Amino acid sequence: MTDYNLPQEILKFKGIFDMDLLYRSMRDWLTRRGYYFEEPVYKNKPNPMGGVEDEITWNCWRKETDYMKFWINVFIHTQEFNTIEVIKDGKKKKMNKARLAIYFNAKVETDYQHRWDKTPFLIWLNNIYEKYIIKPEMDNIYTDKLYYYVLKLHNIAKECLGMEAKGSEYEDVW
């Protein structure tokens, strides 16, 4: 079993945004693409600097093939989180003001069913398979595909925060 880790993507923001919209949009995007969604950590504690501090961790995975599984791990950290009222389009709306950091980590896990680690011969055979047979596909197809998924999720978060225009240069990839 080998993990192919991808580069970490980081999104930092300070200002006014809608946390419910951000949370829902990212979660819906993941579940629509068939990712199993797990939230093992949701911490909410008062911050001495004012407001509250949130730490949210998501572990999302999807079976890509019988041999590979895609993992996207998201860590959301807010500081000085406050709820404020803003007039938007002539109506009062509750929004949030905070410092926000979102970390996106992804990896491709191979042999997630542990079929190839039962005997030393199967382990040796699996190593040969991964080093010589599937390596070009892993480097050029699967890790690339997962990386573009992470970039799309990153752009969804940016759109919710109002950091860029709608759409993405990666929209038609995978």
Q: What is the mean pLDDT of residues 120-140?
A: 89
Q: Is 157 exposed, middle or buried (0-12, 13-18, 19+ CB in 10 A)?
A: buried
Could you identify the residue written with the tokens 């407001």?
Answer: 51
Quote the pTM value.
0.88
102 contacts 115 by C-beta, under 8 angstroms: no
Q: What is the mean pLDDT of residues 117-136?
A: 89
Nearest to 77 by CA among 157, 155, 12, 152: 12
Q: What is the DSSP letter of 49?
A: T
Taking the C-alpha atoms of residue 11 and residue 59, their distance in angstroms, rounded to an integer, is 18
Q: What is the mean pLDDT of residues 83-87?
A: 86
- 40-77, pLDDT tens digit by residue? 999 999 877 778 999 999 999 999 999 999 999 999 99
Q: What is the mean pLDDT of residues 142-167?
A: 87
- pLDDT at residue 60 in the model: 96
Q: What is the mean pLDDT of residues 136-150?
A: 90
Nearest to 65 by CA among 142, 151, 164: 142
